[in-house]
């Protein structure tokens, strides 16, 4: 018995040869251990001081929060968000308009108009059972109104209940509300574009300015892009297809810049040259809007229009060499 007590005090009961400490221990396993646990020193500190690695992480997080807050406060982020909102509203209105045409064609399949706004106006104001040209003439013109009323009298559409027609008109009123909201946001986007990027806005207008800033991510990022990248913004899928198969797929000549009238209304053969010239001017305008804050757009636009005339004139000479 005395032997066991002595062995416990020395570190444990010996269960093997050599008197190595065995199964019993007089020291608690966790409390007061220098290697860690409760009552020990901090795992990363020296003499109770702060952890340098933790301090570095805290400084990094603080700087990241400051940069994120500064980025969110910038007005170009708001311009990009408004531009995306306008695009979403346009997509929603188109989908709703398609459903309206499908539903109203059950009632009046012969109705045809050149614009969806005119179609909605006819749906909301025309009484098919007693068509009156004066009720819709201010929306589609007198001649078109008389033609629509004549078609309504001989229509092959089904006879819907009053509640069915009212529900169709309710959808038309909803689409009209989406159009009104979209117009309001477009006006706001034009105001933001004049404030955030006046040079770009003077060159291509507020709608295209918002799309360029949105695709780039910010005005600063757009200003750092070369003209060749600005030229194909919005055509990333076509560009990646070209990179995968350079021999079979030609590179894109333009992306969202196709919406610029001088490009979309020009012959296909010269659109690439005009897009290249426009992208070069936009690159300079973006740098001016982001860095120098100087308004140089009139000079850029004058040079751009001169270059477009040169490209179109050169195309005319190549197509008619005998005239010159």
Chosen domain end from 191, 206, 234: 191
Any domain includes 83? yes
- 183 shares a domain with 237: no
Any domain includes 66? no
- 179 shares a domain with 229: no
CATH code, domain carrying 93 = 1.10.287.4070
Q: pTM higher than 0.75, yes or no? A: no
Average pLDDT of every residue of the chain = 82
- 209 shares a domain with 125: no
Chosen domain end from 159, 191, 223: 191
Helical residues (DSSP H) of the chain, grouped into ranges: 2-10, 52-73, 75-104, 116-125, 137-140, 142-153, 162-196, 198-204, 206-216, 219-224, 227-231, 236-244, 261-264, 271-287, 297-319
- 296 shares a domain with 228: yes
Q: What is the pLDDT of residues 44-76, one digit of tens each?
A: 444 455 788 887 888 777 777 766 665 555 778
CA distance 36 to 54: 18
DSSP letters spanning 164-221? HHHHHHHHHHHHHHHHHHHHHHHHHHHHHHHHH-HHHHHHH-HHHHHHHHHHHSSHHH
Any domain includes 40? no
User: What is the total count of domains within the chain?
Assistant: 2
Ramachandran bin of 295, using left for φ above 0, alpha for ψ from -120 to 50, beta for the remaining angles: beta
What residue numbers bound the domain in which 248 lies? 197-316
Q: What is the pLDDT of residues 159-171, one digit of tens each?
A: 889 999 999 999 9
Any domain includes 187? yes
CATH code, domain carrying 297 = 1.10.246.90
- Supply the pLDDT for residue 119: 94
- 276 shares a domain with 174: no
The pLDDT of 176-181, averaged and rounded, is: 96
- Supply the pLDDT for residue 43: 47
- 152 shares a domain with 258: no
Chosen domain end from 191, 215, 235: 191
- 217 shares a domain with 174: no
- 281 shares a domain with 296: yes
H or E, element range at 134: none
Any domain includes 29? no
- 164 shares a domain with 127: yes
Q: What is the pLDDT of residues 119-163, one digit of tens each?
A: 999 999 998 888 999 999 999 999 999 999 999 999 898 888 999
| C-beta neighbour count of 138 within 10 angstroms | 11
Any domain includes 33? no
- 205 shares a domain with 181: no
């Amino acid at each position: 018995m005395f032997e066991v007590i002595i062995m416990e005090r020395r570190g444990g009961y010996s269960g093997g040869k050599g008197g190595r400490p065995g199964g019993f221990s007089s020291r608690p396993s966790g409390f007061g251990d220098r290697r860690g646990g409760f009552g020990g020193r901090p795992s990363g500190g020296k003499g109770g001081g702060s952890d340098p690695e933790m301090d570095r992480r805290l400084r990094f997080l603080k700087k990241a929060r400051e940069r994120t807050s500064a980025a969110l406060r910038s007005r170009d982020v708001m311009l990009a968000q408004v531009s995306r909102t306008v695009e979403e509203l346009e997509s929603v209105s188109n989908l709703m308009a398609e459903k309206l045409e499908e539903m109203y064609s059950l009632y009046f399949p012969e109705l045809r108009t050149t614009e969806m706004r005119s179609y909605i106006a006819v749906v909301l104001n025309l009484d098919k059972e007693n068509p009156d040209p004066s009720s819709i003439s201010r929306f589609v013109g007198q001649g078109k109104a008389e033609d629509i009323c004549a078609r309504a009298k001989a229509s092959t559409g089904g006879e819907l209940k009053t509640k069915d027609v009212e529900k169709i008109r309710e959808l038309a009123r909803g689409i009209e509300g989406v159009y009104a909201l979209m117009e309001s946001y477009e006006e706001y986007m034009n105001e933001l574009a004049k404030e955030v990027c006046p040079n770009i806005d003077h060159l291509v207008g507020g709608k295209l300015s918002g799309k360029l800033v949105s695709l780039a991510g910010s005005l600063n990022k757009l200003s750092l892009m070369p003209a060749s990248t600005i030229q194909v913004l919005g055509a990333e899928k076509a560009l990646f297809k070209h990179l995968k198969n350079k021999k079979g797929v030609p590179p894109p000549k333009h992306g969202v810049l196709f919406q610029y009238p001088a490009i979309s209304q020009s012959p296909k053969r010269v659109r690439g040259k005009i897009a290249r010239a426009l992208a070069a001017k936009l690159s300079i305008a973006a740098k001016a809007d982001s860095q120098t804050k100087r308004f140089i757009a009139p000079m850029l636009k004058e040079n751009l229009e001169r270059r477009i005339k040169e490209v179109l004139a050169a195309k005319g000479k190549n197509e008619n060499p005998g005239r010159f």
